[in-house]
């Protein structure tokens, strides 16, 4: 088994995206202005971003052996993401999400199905897949597996990046042994509710991570490492679709980490990658190349 720079452990799903000029009224029909089906999930999209930028990646997770599961794994393989250790469960239905976006207002509505795949168990994975990696990327979804992997990573000197979107069981333990926390504004406000975002960043750093970055959507992002506070405005682009932009942000940030870049440079790369992804429909359609990202950022 060859060594990979980044090991990602997390959820995966099929994402169907429909673009409409305006939401249809109840009982009516509407023509779609655009449609795409892509593989998705925070970790999968982040790894796809990294792979498109030239990083070597491996994915651990679990899906059903249905058409959706096969679609996700085929897509990852096309991006040269190593799926050798990925687990599939026979006779189970994989998760999916349907997103309907209104073109003029950019409003989005989502319909999700969790499927019926059992949680990924420690007895199903070989954590030696982590050996030699520069980064471990986790999202809190497979708690026991991710915690065991994070402990192994820390012992080996591999940096742990936690992509935090919502409070899950065991998230506090993961935060405590993570080197980098990349969080949504909602997560930060729920875990470290403070009057100002800067105070929330300080409190989150006290919980364990060396670096904390909070994604603020159209307001950009903000990061803290020690006494260094970095504010990053979003990249100015003509936005077509923001689906998955936060996941691409994580991929861009990890790309900088793998290169040994500073907090300021990592957040610049992340912001540029996320912005460029918004120029196309669906996150994978607008993934930047390395040359494009380095030129813009």
pLDDT band per the 50, 70, 90 thresholds, residue 277: very high
Give the CA distances from residue 243 to residues 95, 109, 248, 279, in Å, rounded to whole numbers and listed in that order: 17, 11, 10, 11
Consecutive H or E run containing 222 = strand 221-225
Count CB atoms within 10 A of the CB of residue 11.
20
Q: What is the mean pLDDT of residues 115-131?
A: 94
The pLDDT of residue 283 is above 90: no
Which pLDDT score, from 0 to 100, does residue 4 have? 77
Specify the CATH number for 6-289; select among 3.40.640.10, 3.40.190.10, 3.40.1190.20, 3.40.1390.10. Answer: 3.40.1190.20
210 CB-near residues (< 8 Å, 6+ apart): 179, 180, 225
Specify the DSSP class assigned to residue 142.
S
pLDDT > 90 in the chain, percent: 82
Please state, rounded to an integer, the average pLDDT across all residues of the chain: 94
Cα distances from 112 to residues 152, 157, 210, 215, 230, in angstroms, run 33, 37, 34, 23, 35
Q: What is the pTM of this model?
A: 0.95
What digits encode the pLDDT tens for the residues 60-82? Answer: 999 999 999 999 999 999 999 99
Nearest to 146 by CA among 205, 62, 71: 62
Q: Is 232 helix (H, G, I), strand (E, B) or coil?
A: strand
* Domain range annotation of the chain: 6-289
Task: Answer whether residue 223 shows pLDDT above 60.
Answer: yes
Distance between terminal CA atoms of the chain? 34
pLDDT of 206 > 80? The answer is yes
- The whole-number pLDDT of residue 30 equals 86
Q: How far apart are CA 88 and CA 91, in angstroms?
A: 9
Predicted pLDDT at 1: 42
């Amino acid at each position: 088994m060859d060594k990979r720079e980044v090991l990602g452990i997390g959820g995966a799903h099929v994402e169907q995206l429909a673009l409409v000029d305006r939401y249809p009224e109840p009982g009516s029909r509407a023509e779609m202005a655009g449609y795409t089906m892509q593989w998705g999930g925070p970790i999968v999209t982040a790894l796809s971003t990294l792979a498109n930028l030239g990083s070597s990646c491996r994915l651990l997770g679990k899906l059903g052996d249905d058409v959706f599961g096969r679609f996700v794994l085929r897509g990852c393989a096309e991006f040269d993401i190593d799926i050798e250790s990925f687990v599939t469960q026979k006779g189970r239905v994989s998760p999916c999400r349907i997103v309907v976006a209104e073109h003029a207002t950019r409003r989005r509505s989502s319909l999700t199905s969790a499927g019926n795949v059992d949680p990924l168990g420690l007895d199903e994975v070989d954590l030696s897949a982590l050996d030699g990696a520069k980064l471990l990327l986790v999202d809190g979804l497979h708690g026991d597996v991710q915690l065991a992997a994070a402990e192994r990573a820390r012992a080996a000197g591999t940096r742990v990046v936690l992509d935090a979107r919502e409070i899950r069981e065991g998230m506090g333990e993961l935060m405590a042994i993570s080197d980098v926390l990349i969080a949504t504004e909602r997560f930060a406000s729920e875990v470290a509710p403070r009057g100002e975002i800067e105070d929330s960043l300080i409190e989150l750093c006290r919980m364990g991570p060396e670096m904390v970055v909070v994604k603020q959507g159209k307001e950009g992002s903000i990061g803290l490492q020690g006494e260094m506070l970095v504010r990053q405005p979003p990249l100015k682009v003509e936005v077509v679709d923001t689906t998955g932009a936060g996941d691409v942000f994580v991929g861009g940030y990890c790309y900088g980490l793998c290169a040994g870049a500073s907090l300021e440079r990592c957040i610049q790369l992340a912001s540029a990658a996320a912005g460029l992804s918004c120029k196309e429909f669906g996150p994978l359609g607008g993934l930047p190349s390395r040359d494009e990202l380095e030129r813009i950022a």
